[in-house]
Amino acid sequence: MTTMEQQFPQAEATPAGDPAPGTSSASTVPASPGPALTVTAAVPGGPAVPESPAERAEQPAGHGRWRRFGPPALLLAATAALYLVGLSRSGWANPYYSAAAQAASASWKAFFFGSLDASNFITVDKTPAALWLMGLSARVFGVNSFAILLPQALCGVGAVGLLYATVRRWAGEAAGLLAGAVMATTPVAVMMFRFNNPDALLVLMLVAGAYALTRALERGQTRWLLLAGGAVGFGYLAKMLQAVLVLPAFGLVYLLFGPPKLGKRLWQLAAAGGAMIVAAGWWVLAVELWPDGSRPYIGGTQDNSILELTLGYNGVGRLTGEETGSVGGGGGWGETGWLRLFGADMGGQSTWLFPAALLLLGAGLYATWRRPRTDLVRAGFVLWGGWLLVTAAVFSFMAGIFHAYYTVALAPALGAVTGAGAVLLWRLRALAWARATAAVVVAATGWWAYTLLGYSADFVPWLRWTVLIGALAAACALLAAALSPAVLRSAWSRRAVVTLALAVGLAGPGAYALQTAASAHTGAIPTAGPAVTGGNGMRGPGGMPGGFGGRGPGGFGQRQGGGQPTGFPGGITPGGQNGTAPGGTGQNGAGQDGTGQAAGQSGRQRFGQGMRGGMGGLLGASEPNAELKQALLADADRYDWVAATVGANNAAGLQLGTGEPVMAIGGFNGSDDAPSLEQFQRYVAEGRIHWFIGGSGFGAGSGSRVSSQIATWVTEHYQAATIGGQTVYDLTKAAS
């Protein structure tokens, strides 16, 4: 009987030096029925790579430089085009972070803390590293859409390049290229690398950590582990505790497969943990030690502590659903469970190759399980498979705030496992089980793409059946090859099957990716791809009362590409894509509550049945019209804040429209206890705020006690006026 060791022999180790990734050593071993095949390995201890004499003869001589640098250069060039072309069509994208970038470009203090405004009243509800990149870009290129979105696009290109380099070291050139292509065309990755949420920098740092860990696995060098820990730590400064989701995989893979003895591996991991703490902790320590009175309030907290933000609203609260200050109730972010990521609402974001990745992960581990402890290929599968499974499990079962775009964190792992697994199966195609597994992978991929494309049936309708038929054809060819070794003997037949299988795998996500890149995306909660039907009822945050007890019109609507105010639509996607609806509106003087809730008008909601209306006032970020802008800019240099309004997105729209600081009462959700009524009264008495903008989405009973107190005090002590259709209060002129 043929043993696993005989089927998958170790390649001969390179005698000396640090081998260049992608080079190969060779030996000749018997395969299953048929002639002897040459076996190569991408790296010492790498996977057995059957290569026929005909294939070797097909490789032209003298193309070494092109083969080494040409394909990755094309990959990066195509990725850059996908992420950069038409980048400015999304305008400010997420105005919340754009306003903070504007502040960072004007004030180094705002830059350091991640303040929403240059007068440093309150920070965004995240750590500030992503804002550092945007702020620097805005200082160089000016405050504009391209300058703010450019860093995220470059992070995406860098992440794809690093993923290629990482996978190439343990699985070979072809695997690295395929991994990079899969990641680059994952729809949610295209979305987030063309957007200004902090996820782009987070993904780059995590992939950088995986690259450093892979280098450590090769020789056991401590410096690479320290770099891995430092990269994850800096990822915390991008998006807090989401960065630690990779730690179980990182720690386990080095503990099990690192080259040194166990004792050294343990202290090396401890040192890497220390590097992570230092990389993240220096900023946390600085903020905690900084006197509260001379720094901005920490947005998203109830006690002005970055530790509370880390462990509460952006930490354990995301898992349990107990998030103080959140505007969404428990269970409002979609049904938890293993199927959460695969429904109509989320499946098209990132899961196109998830079934294939699971099958290929199993095949990769099966093929390498009996290799020596330090085998790099098996370690690679465990590393990226662990990343994929742990992150997917957390996203599936977290009870707190969860949005579809979070799944961009799955894209690198999906690319790595799919790229390495597919190439490994192809290299082992002399074995019947490998050919049969490849057939199942292709068939499953085609079926899942067919299913996902069915959720957006009006989007390129012919593609759905084309992918399914192509998948069945490729799967049948591979299955026939599994039954008869004579099938796929010729080079052209192999090329045809490989090309067809790749087309089947990338056609669906590629089409979604192109649609995403060609569309404008604005607002707080972006999604990739076309409109879908048949969702499972996941919703955005619930609708909020408009205005303050009816004392003025409702909050600002969501700005579309054309600049006309519209409400936040019934779906997650901003108005003008999947539905338009009026913004939250109140009534002047009648004392009635405004509606503040906008129902989408599209026939197909982004998240299917059960979607609630959006927050007309809370998430709106319209810029002021010319009349209101003129009033806000009058004597602007005399005030720390030209205006104050409830909710950070409302403040962001005003701030981006005027270029002047605007106070966001209550922070992002309007629920932070900042400022207190006494503090606000003091600011007004000191002449530091000019206008109060009414109708910003939070009225009595909305859960914003301080915001309601301030609104009530203003309406009782100052005269309302209407400027540019908006109710405002001049805080320099008390009512007589």
End residue of a domain, out of 516, 548, 579:
516
Max alpha carbon distance in the chain (Å)? 100
Report whether pLDDT(80) > 70.
Answer: yes
pLDDT for res 491: 84
Average pLDDT value for residue range 637-646? 96
Provide φ and ψ at 26, rounded to 5°: -140, 155
Report whether pLDDT(590) > 50.
Answer: no
Confidence of residue 535 (pLDDT cuts 50, 70, 90): low
% of the chain with per-residue pLDDT over 70: 76
Domain extent for 716: 626-734
Instruction: Tell me 344's DSSP state.
Output: T
Distance set, CA 278 to CA 104, 226, 237, 527, 652 (Å): 24, 11, 11, 34, 32
**Tens digit of pLDDT for each residue in 251-297?**
999 999 999 999 999 999 999 999 999 999 999 999 999 999 999 99
Average pLDDT value for residue range 704-733? 92
Residue 323 lies in a domain: yes
Confidence of residue 242 (pLDDT cuts 50, 70, 90): very high
Same domain, 505 and 647: no
pLDDT for res 60: 52
Report whether pLDDT(698) > 70.
Answer: no
Instruction: Tell me 704's DSSP state.
Output: -
Provide φ and ψ at 614, rounded to 5°: -80, 175
CA 551/CA 646 separation, integer angstroms: 14
Average pLDDT value for residue range 433-462? 96
Q: How far is CA 256 from the centre of its chain?
A: 29
Q: Which residue has the higher pLDDT, 553 or 623?
A: 623
Number of domains in the chain: 2
Query: What residue has token string 């390498």?
Result: 368
Q: Would you say 374 and 259 are in contact if contact means Cβ atoms under 8 Å apart?
A: yes
% of the chain with per-residue pLDDT over 90: 68
CA 550/CA 478 separation, integer angstroms: 67
Confidence of residue 318 (pLDDT cuts 50, 70, 90): confident
CA 651/CA 57 separation, integer angstroms: 66
End residue of a domain, out of 516, 551, 576:
516
Same domain, 632 and 506: no
Q: Would you say 186 and 226 are in contact if contact means Cβ atoms under 8 Å apart?
A: no
Pair of tokens at residue 691: 């206008």
Relative to beta strand 662-665, strand 641-646 is parallel
**Tens digit of pLDDT for each residue in 460-491?**
999 999 999 999 999 999 888 877 777 777 78
Q: Which of 620, 616, 619, 617 is nearest to 599 (CA)?
A: 616
For residue 645, what are the β-bridge partners?
Answer: 664
Residue 201 lies in a domain: yes
Instruction: Please report which helix (H) or strand (E) contains residue 689, including its range.
Output: strand 689-693
Report whether pLDDT(448) > 60.
Answer: yes
pLDDT for res 19: 38
DSSP string for residues in 187-215: HHHHHHTTS-STHHHHHHHHHHHHHHHHH
CA 72/CA 261 separation, integer angstroms: 36
Return the exposure string of 376-401: e unless at least 16 CB atoms fall within 10 Å of the residue's CB, then b. Answer: bbbbbbbbbbbbbbbbbebbbebbbb
Distance set, CA 505 to CA 179, 337, 502, 633, 694 (Å): 12, 26, 5, 54, 51
Pair of tokens at residue 155: 């992070």
CA atoms within 13 A on the CB side of 630: 4
Report whether pLDDT(121) > 50.
Answer: yes
Best mean pLDDT range from 65-79, 123-137, 665-679: 123-137
Residue 592 lies in a domain: no
**Tens digit of pLDDT for each residue in 44-59?**
334 444 443 334 444 4
Q: Please state the pTM of the whole predicted model.
A: 0.83
Describe the crossing of helices 64-84 and 491-518 by its angle, rounded to 10 degrees.
Answer: 30
Q: Which residue has the higher pLDDT, 366 or 40?
A: 366
CA 385/CA 219 separation, integer angstroms: 22
Q: Which of 354, 43, 367 is nearest to 214 (CA)?
A: 43
pLDDT for res 333: 65
Question: What is the torsional sign of CA 186, 191, 195, 197?
Answer: negative
Report whether pLDDT(386) > 80.
Answer: yes
DSSP string for residues in 353-387: THHHHHHHHHHHHHHHTTS-TT-HHHHHHHHHHHH
Confidence of residue 620 (pLDDT cuts 50, 70, 90): low
- For residue 685, the one-letter residue type is A
User: Among 22-26, 115-119, 317-321, 692-696, where is mean pLDDT lowest?
Assistant: 22-26
CA 506/CA 183 separation, integer angstroms: 10
Residue 290 lies in a domain: yes
Report whether pLDDT(694) > 90.
Answer: no
What is the arrangement of strands in the sheet containing 689-693, beginning at the earlier edge strand?
662-665, 641-646, 689-693, 726-734, 718-723
**Tens digit of pLDDT for each residue in 129-157?**
999 999 999 999 999 999 999 999 999 99
Residue 46 lies in a domain: no
Residue 593 lies in a domain: no
Report whether pLDDT(335) > 90.
Answer: no
pLDDT for res 255: 98
- For residue 728, the one-letter residue type is V
Report whether pLDDT(359) > 80.
Answer: yes
pLDDT for res 325: 57
Report whether pLDDT(22) > 60.
Answer: no
DSSP string for residues in 665-679: ETTTTT-S--S-HHH
Confidence of residue 378 (pLDDT cuts 50, 70, 90): very high
Q: Would you say 298 and 304 are in contact if contact means Cβ atoms under 8 Å apart?
A: yes
End residue of a domain, out of 484, 516, 548:
516
Rg, the chain, Cα only: 28
pLDDT for res 13: 34
Same domain, 510 and 631: no
User: Among 219-228, 249-258, 329-338, 378-387, where is mean pLDDT lowest?
Assistant: 329-338
Q: Would you say 163 and 412 are in contact if contact means Cβ atoms under 8 Å apart?
A: yes
**Tens digit of pLDDT for each residue in 170-229?**
999 999 999 999 999 999 999 999 999 999 999 999 999 999 999 999 999 999 999 999
Same domain, 509 and 637: no
Q: Which residue has the higher pLDDT, 466 or 623?
A: 466
Residue 619 lies in a domain: no
Residue 200 lies in a domain: yes
pLDDT for res 542: 37
Mean pLDDT of the chain: 82
Long-range contacts of 133-137 (CB under 8 A, 24+ apart): 133/201, 134/97, 134/98, 134/100, 134/101, 134/104, 134/196, 135/101, 135/103, 135/104, 135/105, 135/111, 136/104, 137/101
Report whether pLDDT(637) > 80.
Answer: yes
Peptide bond into 675 cis (omega under 30): yes
pLDDT for res 65: 76
